[in-house]
Structure 1
Amino acid sequence: MPNASPVELNCLDTGPLDMGPAEASDALPLVVIHGLLGSADNWRSHLKAWQPHRRVIAVDLRNHGRSPHAEGMAYSTMSDDVLALLDRLGVEKAHILGHSMGGKVAISLARLAPKRVASLIVADIAPVAYSHGHDDVFAALKEVERGFPKNRREADDLLGQHVDHRPTRLFLATNLERRESEKGSALALRIGLDAIMAGYDDVIGEPAGDTSYEGPTLVLRGADSVYVSDDMLPALREMLPQARMVTLKNAGHWLHADQPEAFQKAVEAFLASQPKSL
């Protein structure tokens, strides 16, 4: 099946989170790509921390956040989406940071368009195929979709029918927005859930591309996460031969939320070591 056509990411009035430094800077921009069921909004505090030094741009991938809902979740397709957005924003080259699914998008972009990537930062994901692991999450979101909750307490009750872990439910609830319908005002999902579920085999698959990325790379992993286990490191080294690994203590898969200061400092130190010009 051919790849879906690129969509115009963050096409609504608000656009991507695009923050520039208060003073002129010759530092290359940093582009941040969220993970599955996340959004650019999840990264606001980090963007504010990095903003004094450079332009920072957080995008919403297709079927997420403020971006359009569209069929196709292949990594080559999502990479094309991001490249089209960078073209629209006039960004010729940038540092690319991606978490989880966004990390695979970032790796795909680096492999498919290496001249557009100054460096790569991959947060708690390996370039390997994973097993199915979101059935409970999808079932919980379907409960919300069917339930038309009037408030967040009702939404949490619906999510709780399938997801016991409250932090996970709070994260999923970031995808809710209030809408008016024939049944009145209710909270609804802003994500393209059906398209995500249909493309889930692509999401858990390997990044796109058939070559290694030879540019500077930082891989951050949580010490308490299973997403970048030691047995995955050979595949990671083969695809990202210049990768430097940093493990954050007391951090799980959402390492940027578990240890925000350590995460920010690791990113800042890595970026500071990179050339500023194109």
Structure 2
Amino acid sequence: MLAADLYGTTDHRPALVLLHGLTYDRRQWGPTLRELAQVDPGRRVLVVDLPAHGESPAPDSYDSGTLTALLHETIEDAGLVDPVVVGHSMGAVLATRYATTYPTRGVVNIDQPLLVGPFAEFLRSVEPALRGPDHLQVWNSLLAGMHIDLLPESAQELVRTRTTPRQDLILGYWQELLGSDAPADLNAGMRRDLKTLRDASVGYHFISGSDPAPEYRSWLEAIRPDVVVTVWPDSGHFPHLAHPDRLAALLAAPRSGE
């Protein structure tokens, strides 16, 4: 069972499940939860520490099947049915994969492109450093490109201090990317996942902190013509922390009669 906090009451509104990104924990959703309490009071929300993060134990395996099964166990224990799963970064990958296997109302992907081949190639190029004593140099170089400076000071502090970039954690969650000999196979797998969700009528919303690359947007819209793409410019990799009020408004359930 994963560590999680459950808020709100069960009613006609679809429950939300919030998944943080790699090396962070459920505390990163604090700003969003405060805004949701204002615009959608009483909404049922489950905020989860992913396996090996925060207060959740490490899994026996980091393969996606094991991770999503642990997540489903936690969602079931909370009594949630057909939730909207919201994920940031690596959490968005898990949200997408979760929805291909378990009943889900919709997926909200926060700043996680799913055309992962280029990133996998980069990781393989720095794999010796990732597996050696300098793994933090790789992580910090990635963090430097996430434009944390665009966030409010309180959010910058949250990103810099509520993180545990352990080597075993990073290698565990990136094992699929590091272990693939063909980046095209990874892209094909994501294509299958998105098509599965389309066929199952699971809504998909992609939120980006900058304009998506044209080739990525074309790839995504070719698979999911119904995808909703929202861009909050100059938000970096953490648009949910740059604009928690906008995210809360986006997630708020329609009122009766609207």
Asked if these proteins are the same fold (TM beyond 0.5), I'd say yes
Partner of residue 76 from structure 1, selected from 49, 58, 65: 65
Match of 1:220, SS state, is strand
- Partner AA of 2:176 in structure 1: D
CA 1:220/1:261 → structure 2, altered by over 3 Å: closer, same or farther?
same
Partner of residue 100 from structure 1, selected from 72, 85, 89: 89
Residue 127 of structure 1 deviates from its aligned partner by 2.0
Higher alpha-carbon Rg = 1
Residue 68 of structure 1 deviates from its aligned partner by 0.6
Partner of residue 45 from structure 1, selected from 21, 26, 31: 31
Q: Distance in 2 between matches of 1:244 and 1:162?
A: 31
Partner of residue 252 from structure 1, selected from 233, 236, 240: 236
Q: Is 2:250 the counterpart of 1:262?
A: no
Q: Distance in 1 between matches of 2:205 and 2:107?
A: 6
| Contact 1:213 1:241 survives alignment (8 Å) | no
CA 1:203/1:105 → structure 2, altered by over 3 Å: closer, same or farther?
farther
Once the two structures are superposed, residues 101-153 of structure 1 have per-residue CA deviations (whole angstroms, 9 ceiling, x without a partner) of: 1111111111222xx211221111122222335969x87x9679xxxxxxxxx
User: Higher strand proportion, which one?
Assistant: 1
The residue that corresponds to 1:9 in the other structure is 2
Q: What is the aligned residue count?
A: 226
The residue that corresponds to 1:127 in the other structure is 114
Partner of residue 207 from structure 2, selected from 184, 204, 220: 220
- Partner AA of 2:162 in structure 1: T
- Partner AA of 1:9 in structure 2: L
Residue 90 of structure 1 deviates from its aligned partner by 1.4
Match of 2:47, SS state, is strand
- Partner AA of 1:96 in structure 2: V
| Contact 2:19 2:92 survives alignment (8 Å) | yes
CA 1:216/1:41 → structure 2, altered by over 3 Å: closer, same or farther?
same
Q: Distance in 1 between matches of 2:140 and 2:31?
A: 30
Q: Distance in 1 between matches of 2:29 and 2:47?
A: 7
Q: Distance in 2 between matches of 1:265 and 1:26?
A: 18
Bigger relative contact order, structure 1 or 2 (CA pairs below 8 A, ≥6 apart): 2
Match of 1:50, SS state, is helix
User: Higher helix proportion, which one?
Assistant: 2
Q: Is 2:14 the counterpart of 1:28?
A: yes
Once the two structures are superposed, residues 154-205 of structure 1 have per-residue CA deviations (whole angstroms, 9 ceiling, x without a partner) of: xxxx98x965949599525313xxxxxxxxxxxxx5x764143144142685
CA 1:37/1:49 → structure 2, altered by over 3 Å: closer, same or farther?
same
Residue 233 of structure 1 deviates from its aligned partner by 2.1
| Contact 2:25 2:53 survives alignment (8 Å) | yes
| Contact 1:72 1:199 survives alignment (8 Å) | no
Once the two structures are superposed, residues 38-79 of structure 1 have per-residue CA deviations (whole angstroms, 9 ceiling, x without a partner) of: 211110121232241411111111111111113433333322
Q: Distance in 1 between matches of 2:251 and 2:140?
A: 35
Match of 1:70, SS state, is coil
The residue that corresponds to 1:154 in the other structure is none
| Contact 1:74 1:203 survives alignment (8 Å) | no
Q: Distance in 1 between matches of 2:50 and 2:217?
A: 27
Match of 2:106, SS state, is strand
The residue that corresponds to 2:254 in the other structure is 272
State how 1:236-251 maps to structure 2 within 5 Å: 236-251=220-235
CA 1:162/1:36 → structure 2, altered by over 3 Å: closer, same or farther?
closer
State how 1:161-180 maps to structure 2 within 5 Å: 165=144, 167=148, 171-175=159-163
Identity of aligned residues (%): 19
The residue that corresponds to 2:49 in the other structure is 60
Q: Is 2:168 the counterpart of 1:194?
A: yes
- Partner AA of 2:237 in structure 1: H
